């Protein structure tokens, strides 16, 4: 089995200064707000074919990532790779055979709308989401 990566779907940045980050990405880099989920603390910005998700560290979602970004704390929650559609059981079996721990699949929103995805962790501890379109 071969995983075929199509591109980066989105990156998720945790921030202690949400206003400054939103201004930077929207006003300086001209990203457009695509979706806001204030109840969990998430804003999704269109960045070409991909998304940049901004998550305030004091929000429900932001608190899941640990301490605030600094030398000892990380500001990237995870990044998501778009992959070619594959049977979930086949992908999961492949990853497990490669000694990669996997979480359960779920429907999640990304640059191409909703799709199926799961989270894995690379050898350095970075969280990687693998996502494919439902169509």
pLDDT tens for each residue of 79-88: 888 888 989 9
pLDDT of 117 higher than 80: yes
**What gap in Å lies between CA 18 and CA 56, rounded to an integer?**
6
Complete DSSP assignment for the chain: ----EEEEEEEEEEES-HHHHHHIIIIIS--EEEEEETTTTEEEEEETTEEEEEEETTSHHHHTT-SPSSSSS-SEEEEEEEE----HHHHHHHHHHTT------EEEEETTEEEEEEEEE-TTS-EEEEEEE--
Assign domain 5-133 to its CATH architecture.
Answer: Roll (3.10)
State the burial class of residue 69 (Cβ atoms within 10 Å of its Cβ: 0-12, 13-18, 19+): middle
pLDDT, position 65? 65
pLDDT tens for each residue of 28-46: 778 899 999 999 989 999 9
pLDDT, position 50? 92
User: Where along the chain do its domains lie?
Assistant: 5-133
pLDDT of 112 higher than 70: yes
* 32-39: Cβ within 8 A, 24+ apart: 35/109
pTM: 0.73
């Amino acid at each position: 089995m071969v995983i075929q990566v199509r591109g980066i779907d989105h990156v998720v940045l945790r921030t202690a200064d949400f206003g400054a980050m939103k201004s930077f990405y929207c006003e300086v880099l001209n990203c457009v707000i695509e979706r806001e989920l204030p109840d969990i603390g998430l804003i999704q910005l269109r960045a070409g074919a991909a998304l940049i998700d901004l998550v305030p560290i004091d929000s429900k979602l932001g608190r899941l990532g640990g301490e605030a970004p600094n030398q000892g704390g990380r500001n990237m929650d995870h990044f998501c790779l778009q992959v070619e559609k594959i049977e979930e059981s086949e992908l999961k079996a492949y990853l497990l055979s490669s000694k990669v721990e996997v979480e359960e699949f779920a429907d999640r929103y990304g640059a191409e709308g909703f799709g199926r995805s799961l989270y894995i962790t690379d050898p350095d501890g970075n969280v990687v989401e693998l996502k494919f379109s439902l169509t």
